[in-house]
Amino acid sequence: MGELRQFKLPDVGEGLTEGEILQWLVAVGDTVTVNQPLCEVETAKAAVELPSPWAGTVTALLHDAGATVDVGSPIITIDIGGSAPAPDGDGAGAEVQAGLIGGAAPGGRTAVLVGYGPRTTEARRRPRRAVHAHPAPAQLPGADYGSGGTDHPPLLTTAPDATTKPVRHGGLEVGRQAEAHALAEDAATALVARPGQGRPRPLAKPPVRKLAKDLGVDLAALTGSGAGGVITRADVEAAAGRVTAAEPVPVPQPLAPVAAGEVQRIPIKGVRKHTAAAMVASAFTAPHVTEFLTIDVTRMMKLRTRLAARPEFAGVKVSPLLFVAKALLLAVRRHPMVNSSWDEAAQEIVVHGQVNLGIAAATPRGLVVPNVKDADRLSLAELAGALAELTETARAGRTAPADMTGGTITITNVGVFGVDTGTPILNPGESAILAFGAVREMPWVHKGKVRPRQVTQLALSFDHRIIDGELGSRFLADVGALLADPGTALAF
């Protein structure tokens, strides 16, 4: 009889205790390969795919889709071959080697993914380069790839030495195991055969896959126009018989009408549960102060039109949010105390030397706040690409847990919903959050005359333990000045 092994639900974040199985990507009887996605799991921070640590045959799915499972509980049984005895009566399979998925990790925790726990080899990032030939499917992981492509250099020019960092793959951090198959490039450039299918899996990033699903487009029938044959958003939209002029605003699915006299109960779990706890903790821990500023952004909107026509912004959405983000980053340079945190345990204010810019994003699963690391060191074109990639990945529900930690200051764009302004709650661990309202044509006194101008409102909430009224006011005024007259940036 074959050797049976059970894969236990790993902690795919930092200290998570449970996760909901959204869907199974394999069925009983399927043959799986190393690193092939087994299921999609939603945690308190994100939805992620869990790769298989072994090659073999699925013999049992221990939980149904929709079930909430504790971290460390077995979720699937795989027959990896060999001559080991069958599992005993309680369903426990063979012991898992420390350091592999489901195995023991330091501190008594369960190893998260391939490579967590004790390592037998040094993890190295492979250099980004164009792929001219596809490796054999048996050598490739079956997970969806995250952001980026092989033809793009790293967005962050200040990225640490990549040779000492774990490989980023499929939104999850994975190391290299001596017994694992070689990992492919960390962009969507590989063809992977799915069990039970006679054709290879098409190349596409998660946001493009979601778009294809929403439009009813079969990716396998398309020929990708991107580098290495990757299917792009334009390919999917063309196949659907329409091309969108702008990114649609995500609209949550409304609840079905509730009959008179009845009530509907919705379980609080996943992202919404985590967000609720974080907002309550923030609202009742940090003393919030909110200030408002109304500004004329006509010059900014004209500059937006000119920049969108420049070659370095080709294929990138030049949105008003981009200018707000850049103005905030420049203002932080002048007022570094705004980019700080309150350390209650140490009784210290921690002023951060880099700006990890969070962008609040509405997703079907709830509010998430992924952040752009070292955003203050990016050019305007690089920042535009990073913001577009961040929001697309968030809306597709593929944001990696690591991308939602370490934020230092946040922007929430309520204007995209047609809202003028609000009083935002601080993202926990940060001292300031800026709300950006809708840009509207309004009567405005300009050069002594009332004229129609493009006007918007800003709202800055800050932690009054760190930022006093003067500092908050000066910071907000600088952001407003940069948006009203982008040429002011030359003086910063």
The residues assigned a catalytic role are 464
Cβ atoms of 369 and 408 closer than 8 Å: no
* CA neighbours closer than 13 Å in the CB half-sphere of residue 389: 20
Q: Using CB atoms within 10 A of its CB, is residue 229 exposed (0-12), middle (13-18) or buried (19+)?
A: middle
Cβ-based neighbour number of residue 387 at 10 Å: 22
Structure-block tokens of residue 163: 């040779």
Residues 6+ apart with CB under 8 A from 26: 32, 36, 38, 39, 58, 61, 76, 195
Residue in the structure block whose two tokens are 């609202």: 283
Are residues 483 and 457 in contact, defined by beta-carbon separation less than 8 angstroms?
no
Q: Which amino acid is at 279?
A: M
Please tell me the number of Cα atoms within 13 Å of 91 on its side-chain side.
13
SS3 call for 205: coil
| Backbone dihedral angles phi then psi of residue 89, each to the nearest 5 degrees | -65, -25
Residue 16 CA to chain centroid, in angstroms?
Answer: 17
Those residues whose C-beta lies under 8 Å from the C-beta of residue 66, and which sit 6 or more positions away, are 20, 21, 22
Query: CA triplet 104, 178, 113: central angle to 5 degrees?
Result: 40
- Please give the angle made by the CA atoms of 265, 267 and 268, to the nearest 5 degrees: 125
CA dist 133 and 131 (Å) reads: 6
Name the 3-class secondary structure at 408.
coil
Residue 374: burial class (beta carbons within 10 Å; 0-12, 13-18, 19+):
middle
DSSP label of 416: G
How far does Cα 460 stand from its chain's mean position? 24
Do 131 and 189 form a contact (C-beta atoms < 8 A)? yes
483-489 long-range contacts, CB within 8 A, separation 24+: 483/295, 483/297, 483/300, 483/323, 483/324, 483/327, 483/456, 483/458, 484/295, 484/296, 484/297, 484/299, 484/300, 485/299, 486/299, 486/300, 486/303, 486/323, 487/299, 489/326, 489/327, 489/330
Indicate the SS3 state at residue 328: helix
